[in-house]
């Protein structure tokens, strides 16, 4: 991939995560990089293709980072706190989850983009379900609880977005251990 193409994708991702989906226009991207908007068209067929590529790249990068951070980690609570730390990192960078920006745009996005956002959310809920199951949370409650945890993290990040302190996000993070412990069944002790 060309360096200019990578830079354009990075600019678009940052614009969307810091503002809204609409802030990633070819004109604005070109302005930031110091090129004409027609030059941006050289790298991307159209805006829809760019946006679809951004979602796909975001999902890949998010899960690669999450898996790397949780590698070798056996504590479900620590795994969930590691997930939450990704949201804290976003807050400290004054960013929102890219998929949240797409979800907030609603019908202004294409069907393919909405499907990609749903795929990301389902994949993340699946990851959380796996962690909850390893913590001894009984099935089928894990699916509902995974949605609850993801909604709490995404919602708190959105509500704290323009705040200097991540009060709501920090509250979710602090509550995660108690939530997991209150919903898990005690594991038998091994000798």
pLDDT digits (tens, 9 = 90+) for 89-120: 999 999 999 999 999 898 889 999 999 999 99
35/63 same-domain check: no
* Burial label, 29 (beta-carbon count in 10 A; 0-12, 13-18, 19+): buried
188, part of any domain: no
Is the pLDDT at 190 greater than 70, yes or no?
no
120, part of any domain: yes
189, part of any domain: no
Torsion angles phi and psi, residue 111, rounded to 5: -60, -40
What is the Cα–Cα distance from 24 to 13, expressed in whole angstroms? 8
Residues 6+ apart with CB under 8 A from 133: 139, 142
Cβ atoms of 54 and 13 closer than 8 Å: yes
What is the Cα–Cα distance from 9 to 101, expressed in whole angstroms? 16
For the CA atoms of the chain, what is the radius of gyration?
A: 19
132/160 same-domain check: yes
69/146 same-domain check: yes
Is the pLDDT at 185 greater than 80, yes or no?
no
141, part of any domain: yes
111, part of any domain: yes
Is the pLDDT at 83 greater than 80, yes or no?
yes
50, part of any domain: no
Q: Which of 87, 85, 88 is CA-nearest to residue 69?
A: 85
Residues 6+ apart with CB under 8 A from 136: 184, 185, 186, 187
99/37 same-domain check: no
Specify the CATH number for the domain of residue 4: 1.10.10
Instruction: Give the residue ranges of DSSP H helices in 19-75.
Output: 26-33, 37-43, 47-70
pLDDT digits (tens, 9 = 90+) for 5-37: 999 999 999 999 999 888 888 998 999 999 998
31, part of any domain: yes
Cα separations (Å) of 178 from 137, 174, 181, 184?
13, 8, 5, 10
15/73 same-domain check: no
73/39 same-domain check: no
What is the domain range of residue 146? Answer: 58-183
Cα 19 from chain centroid (whole Å): 15
112/173 same-domain check: yes
2/80 same-domain check: no
Count structural domains, the chain: 2
């Amino acid at each position: 991939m060309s360096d200019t193409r990578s830079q354009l994708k990075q600019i678009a991702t940052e614009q969307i995560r810091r503002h809204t989906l609409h802030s990633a226009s070819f004109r604005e991207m070109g302005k930031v990089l110091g090129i004409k908007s027609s030059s941006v068209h050289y790298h991307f067929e159209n805006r829809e293709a760019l946006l679809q590529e951004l979602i796909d790249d975001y999902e890949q990068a998010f899960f690669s980072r999450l898996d790397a951070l949780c590698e070798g980690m056996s504590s479900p609570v620590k795994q969930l706190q590691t997930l939450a730390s990704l949201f804290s990192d976003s807050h400290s960078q004054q960013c929102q989850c890219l998929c949240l920006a797409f979800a907030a745009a609603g019908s202004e996005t294409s069907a393919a983009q909405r499907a990609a956002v749903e795929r990301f959310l389902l994949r993340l809920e699946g990851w959380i379900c796996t962690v909850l199951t390893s913590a001894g949370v009984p099935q089928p409650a894990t699916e509902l609880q995974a949605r609850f945890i993801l909604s709490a993290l995404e919602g708190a990040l959105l509500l704290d977005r323009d705040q200097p302190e991540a009060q709501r996000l920090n509250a979710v993070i602090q509550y995660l251990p108690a939530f997991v412990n209150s919903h898990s069944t005690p594991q038998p002790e091994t000798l």
